[in-house]
Amino acid sequence: MSEYRITLPGTKAKAYNRISLIILVVNMLAFGLVFFKPGILAGYIAAVVMMFILSLTLFSYIGKNIKLQNKFTIVSIGLSAIAWIILGDYLLAVLMAAMAVVSYYTLQDPILIFSDDGIAYPSFPKRFYTWPQVKAAMIKEDVLTLDLQSNQLLQFTLPAETIAAMNVHEFNSFCRNKQQKS
């Protein structure tokens, strides 16, 4: 096999869910304050529509075993940015747009890709390590270890289902061969 894809465990999912919840609730409260503030009709309409969308987002996930960090939440945060532009608060609009972009990238599955060319590491921005940059790469006792020439050591405990789905001996041989050739 010339390529291995290993999905890393999502260790920060709870934190991302809490942050998404805080962003939605704070936006909901802010749009509630805008509704009671005297202003133009477009501001009232934007506040009411956004309170409806945000409450729909919150109520559809409360009490269910579904993570709040999902595409619908990202769309709600993006729509909040548009509503803040309509209301004339450009700083909040930029902040919400940035939160939507960051949320989109945190939603992606962290997948390490081992190929003939090197290792693609799922960071932001994505990193690529060529085989000459790698001292050692192996899986031993359910722990994936990447030892880099720059004295970085990356270790990940892999779930049992990931280990069961792959041939660990074949993977370690692949990595060893690539390191010896470089």
Q: Are 102 and 50 in contact (CB under 8 A)?
A: no
Closest CA to 54 of 88, 22, 94: 22
Residues in the chain: 182
Q: Which residues contact 92 (CB under 8 A, 6 or more apart)?
A: 30, 81, 84
Q: Which residues of 78-152 form beta strands (DSSP E)?
A: 111-115, 118-121, 127-130, 134-140, 143-148
The pLDDT profile of the chain, 182 residues, written as one tens digit per residue, is 578 888 887 767 777 778 888 888 899 899 888 888 777 787 788 888 888 988 888 887 776 656 666 788 888 999 999 999 988 889 999 999 999 888 888 777 788 889 988 999 887 778 899 999 999 899 988 899 999 999 889 898 888 888 888 888 899 888 888 888 76
What the block records as the tokens of 112 is 């390490």
Task: Write out the H or E segment, with its range, that includes residue 6.
Answer: strand 3-7
